[in-house]
Amino acid sequence: MHPLIREWKKTGEKIVFTNGVFDLLHVGHVTYLKLASSLGTKLIVGVNADTSVRRLNKGPERPINPEWARKEVLEALKCVDLAIVFHEDTPLELILQIEPDYIVKGGDYDASERDLNAKKYIVGSNECHSWGGEVVSLPLVDGFSTTSIVQKLK
């Protein structure tokens, strides 16, 4: 576990976890991250590694920015306390290491979904509930997505 996380847990910080690609940072991302951070005292963002992004089939041109650059940009936001690159298809291993107080995803996911195979299931939500954490789905900002930005650029 990252030493900062260990220290935060010792001091009773409320840890919020979210994850994503965050390839071209836009107002939808920033709004979402600010809302997520307001749920606790420390926000940790899991960032999909480049290989993970390619396996997600986001498109042949993705990721546009390499993982180290996406991590750096996220950590420059005052609402983000730590960004961690993960290489697996899902952030489950990272979530199990952190055991956050909150797991947060966007409105295209359903915080009440318990079926692991459902498209709207939030990875780690069953585990998070088992240690007393909460799972939250936040509304998306209409009209902003990296996919739509890439399409406009084409």
pLDDT for 54-102, tens place per residue?
998 877 888 989 999 999 999 999 999 999 999 999 999 999 999 999 9
The HSE-up count of residue 18 (CA atoms within 13 Å, CB side) is: 29
Residue written as tokens 């847990």? 9
CB 98 within 8 A of CB 1: yes
Q: Which amino acid is at 77?
A: L
Share above pLDDT 90 across residues of the chain, in percent, rounded to a whole number: 77
What is the reported pTM?
0.91
Q: Is the pLDDT of residue 22 over 70?
A: yes
Question: Binning pLDDT at 50, 70 and 90, where does residue 107 land?
Answer: confident
Total domains present in the chain: 1
Quote the mean pLDDT of the chain.
91
Half-sphere exposure of 25 (CA within 13 A, CB side): 16
Instruction: Specify the pLDDT at position 122.
Output: 97
For residues 138 and 140, give the distance between their C-alpha atoms in angstroms, rounded to a whole number. Answer: 7
| pLDDT band at residue 146 under the 50/70/90 scheme | low
CB burial class (10 A; 0-12, 13-18, 19+) of residue 135?
Answer: buried
Domain around 43: 3-153
As given in the structure block, the two tokens for residue 61 are 């041109």
Apex 72 CA angle, 32 and 47, nearest 5: 55
Return the CATH number at 55: 3.40.50.620
Reduced to 3 DSSP states, what percent helix, strand and coil does the chain have, rounded to the nearest 5? Answer: 35, 20, 45
**For residue 144, pLDDT beyond 70:** no
